[in-house]
Amino acid sequence: MSAVRATRRRRYLFDRDGVLAPMMLLPSVVYIVALVAVPFFLAIAYSLSDVTVGDPSFDYVGLRNFRAVLKDPVFRRSLTNSIFITAVTMVLVLVLAKILALVLTRDFRGKWGVRFLILLPWTTPVPLAAIAWLWMLDSLFSPIDWTLRRLGLLEGNLHWLGNSKLAVASVITVQVWRIVPLAAVIIMAGLAAIPQDINDAAEVDGAGFWRKLFEITIPLTLPVTAVATLFGAVLVFTDMSVVYVLTRGGPVDATQILPTWAFFRGIQGGDLAQGAAVALFLFPLLLAMAVLILRSVRRMEVL
């Protein structure tokens, strides 16, 4: 009797949440634990050790690497650059993306083509896009320089990537250029989610363009804007391809950021321990960004 019931119960195994749910979740969890959690803790272990490519034996050295890293002026430059570049990029992205999203929700001729062109920067693999910019900013043949020369505003060349201020500006420009479409598209989804009645009501209530923008549209798209900011900021903050392709961190570390510096130290320099220590500095900053933004989303969640 009870044996029969047992087999019957087994037959219905795939109906039981308690069995099915962990089973379905398992592959993803195993994958992520093995290749994200393990290397993450390994990175922490490395940062507390003296592991190098040449001498992979593990010796605990405490916080020595962090002390060394913090004393290193190049690291400090990288840290401030990372924060500065991300912050400036995101401010520009937010303003431009909001405008672009509003523009793209309007009707105009040739919309499909325009949308295609505007999305190009986002859909192009970043290293290749950076290559296109590298050629735009070429020290001799930059078409920007040529245009300025033609207009009589410039003699010779600007050396975009050779001048430390211009190099930082160039990195920011490329980041803004590639993130704006993504942010705009996310904000557009938020705009589309505003019921048409609300827009109509605002118009009937006598609100003009600006009042509608600041009192209705922007407040109602704040949560989705915050999401766009989070995604964009993480993308900019952790990207190394733009800097690597454009400047390799130069001139003289003027555009060095945390990911590139970790790469040059850890992989090219072979000092795994110090590289790991540099890279780990990304984490608390990312965490702070995420918490800050998600908390403000929750506070603004009104719908």
Interaction residues for other proteins, span 9-28 (CB under 8 A): 12, 14-18, 20-25, 27-28
Q: In this chain, which of 1, 3, 4, 140 binds other proteins, going by CB under 8 A?
A: 140
- Residue 84 found at the interface with other proteins (CB under 8 A): no
- Other beta carbons within 10 Å of 280: 19
- Residue 146 found at the interface with other proteins (CB under 8 A): yes
- Residue 91 found at the interface with other proteins (CB under 8 A): no
Q: In this chain, which of 108, 153, 165, 298 binds other proteins, going by CB under 8 A?
A: 108
Determine the size of the site formed for other proteins (CB under 8 A): 118
Least distance in angstroms from the C-beta of 210 to other proteins: 11
Residue 59 φ/ψ region, left for φ over 0, alpha for ψ in the -120 to 50 degree band, beta for the rest:
beta
Least distance in angstroms from the C-beta of 2 to other proteins: 23
- Residue 136 found at the interface with other proteins (CB under 8 A): yes
Residue span binding other proteins (CB under 8 A) among the ranges 1-9, 72-80, 161-169, 187-195: 187-195
| Residues numbered 255-294 forming contacts with other proteins, rule: CB under 8 A | 258-259, 262-263, 266-267, 272, 275-276, 279-280, 282-283, 286-287, 290
Cβ atoms of 69 and 277 within 8 Å: the answer is: yes
- Residue 148 found at the interface with other proteins (CB under 8 A): no
Beta partners for 60?
Answer: 49
| Residues numbered 212-251 forming contacts with other proteins, rule: CB under 8 A | 215-216, 219-220, 223-224, 227, 231, 234, 238-241, 244-245
* Residue with tokens 């979740």, as numbered in its chain: 25
- Residue 101 found at the interface with other proteins (CB under 8 A): no
Residue span binding other proteins (CB under 8 A) among the ranges 62-70, 71-79, 87-95, 206-214: 206-214
CA-wise closest residue to 72 among 245, 253, 239, 240: 253
CA-wise closest residue to 228 among 278, 174, 181, 274: 181
- Residue 185 found at the interface with other proteins (CB under 8 A): yes
d(CA 165, CA 245): 17
DSSP string, 60-80: B-TTHHHHHHHH-HHHHHHHH
DSSP string, 207-261: --HHHIIIIIIHHHHHHHHHHHHHHHHHHHHH--HHHHHHTTT-STTTT--HHHH
CA-wise closest residue to 273 among 123, 117, 102, 48: 48
Least distance in angstroms from the C-beta of 252 to other proteins: 18
**Which CB sits closer to other proteins, 5 or 150?**
150
163, two tokens: 């001048």
Least distance in angstroms from the C-beta of 95 to other proteins: 13
- Residue 55 found at the interface with other proteins (CB under 8 A): no
**Which CB sits closer to other proteins, 84 or 283?**
283
End-to-end CA separation in angstroms for the chain: 55
